[in-house]
Amino acid sequence: MRRTTSLILLALAVFFTALSPLLRWYAFPRLAKIPANQYQDMVLEAKDATLLDYGTMRAKKVPSVTIVQTLKGNVEASDRIEKTAGKDVVVWDGLSYVQGPDGKMVSTIPERYIFDAHSQEPVHATGETVDGDPVKREGIEFKWPFFTEKRDYEYFDAQTRTTNPIHYRGTQTFRGVQVYYFEQTIPWTKVPFPKTMPVQGITPQSVARTGTTRWYTTVRKFWVEPVTGAPVYGEEIHKEELRGGTLLGGRDRVTAFAGHVKMREDYIEHTVDLVKHNRTVVLLLTSYLPWGFLGLGLVLLSLSLYLEARARRPADPDPAPATEPEPVSA
């Protein structure tokens, strides 16, 4: 009986010990991916910002500017691209919608971001665009890879349509979460006008005929939870100018927008809670279960060897039967 139990425990020990590395190095790389149908939105605000009044073509101070960013997974497009890409692909249809304090649209820029569901590396396919213009992204955008490293990454900037380094600046704690802080500076760069302008009848083509150009610079900051690669918070010190041309009435330049853009408080709380949950799930597959299975396997192996040793121990000899003493005669 002991030997049978020992063999069963030995089989379970081998099973759990083998499952430990399989879960970490085989199952996790295949299971950890961005779902193709994911939807998320984010609201950011710039308090006491500067905004261009297109009626007077002069900059003015406003109480706030609101930026609504949405990312919607396009399952149909991802399924189509996967057939030729030979990998799991996610297609995000994004929209950055900016509105002034009166609720009127300032700018709206759509984009399509196509990337590998596991590594977050860009996948080049038809439809990869920013504001309707075809682009070929290099580097990451919106999300860092799982198990983000303490190093610089290449990050795509949608305004300039270029990729530039985003630098690792250290490890911090944000709302109880250990995060890596990254920062990127985009110097003043000439950028295209949005296809959709805030004033009826004005188009990028009509503005271009006046000789006026649009310039942009930003300092981009992200606090990234390294296990999931998800930003828990982000900021931008964002500036835009119109320069030259007859549209400015002889002025050299005018501020189109300037403000310190920050995530709204309610979205910070939601994002931190979501990232904490996802972090637990990732650690379950990469740390808690693999180490737990390995420890369980060692315990079962020890118990199996103990029972096997007990089964092989020789039995103690039976005691001699007790005999009554013979009577002694006189």
Give, for all 330 residues of the chain, the pLDDT tens digit: 666 777 787 788 788 888 888 887 788 878 888 999 989 999 999 999 999 988 888 999 999 999 999 999 999 999 999 988 889 999 999 999 999 998 889 999 999 999 999 999 999 999 999 999 999 999 999 999 999 999 999 999 999 999 999 999 999 999 999 999 999 999 999 999 999 888 887 888 888 889 999 999 999 999 999 999 999 999 999 999 999 988 888 889 999 999 999 999 999 999 999 999 999 989 888 888 888 888 888 888 888 787 777 777 665 555 555 555 555 554
Cα separation of 235 and 224, whole Å?
A: 12
**What is the residue type of 299?**
V
Locate 88 and state its tokens. 């799991």
Give the per-residue pLDDT at 330: 45
Q: Under 8 Å CB-to-CB from 54, ≥6 apart: which residues?
A: 198, 199, 202
Alpha helices in 146-259 (DSSP H): 204-209
Give the per-residue pLDDT at 192: 94
Cα separation of 200 and 188, whole Å?
A: 28
Cα separation of 185 and 181, whole Å?
A: 14
pTM of the model: 0.86
Give the per-residue pLDDT at 318: 56
Q: How far is CA 324 from the centre of its chain?
A: 88
Helix axes 2-22, 289-312, angle to 10 degrees: 160
Question: Contact at 8 Å (CB) between 113 and 136?
Answer: no
For the four alpha carbons of 151, 152, 154 and 156, in that order, the dihedral sign comes to: positive
Locate 272 and state its tokens. 């931190």
State the residue for tokens 């970490």: 24
Locate 89 and state its tokens. 């692909």
Cα separation of 125 and 82, whole Å?
A: 10
Q: Taking the C-alpha atoms of 142, 138, 191 and 40 in order, what is their torsion angle to the nearest 10 degrees?
A: -20
Give the per-residue pLDDT at 249: 83
Alpha helices in the chain (DSSP H): 2-22, 28-31, 75-85, 204-209, 265-283, 289-312
> Please, how many CA atoms are within 13 Å of residue 311, restricted to the half-sphere of its CB?
13
Cα separation of 68 and 97, whole Å?
A: 5
Cα angle, residue 259 at apex, residues 255 and 265 outer, rounded to 5°: 160
Q: List 39's β-bridge partners, or say none.
A: 72
Query: What is the C-alpha R_g of the chain?
Result: 32
For the chain, the structural domain boundaries read: 2-22+286-312, 32-263
**What is the residue type of 280?**
T
3-state SS class at 328: coil
Locate 72 and state its tokens. 């919607």
Burial 302-326 (b: 16+ CB within 10 A, else e): ebbeebbeeeeeeeeeeeeeeeeee
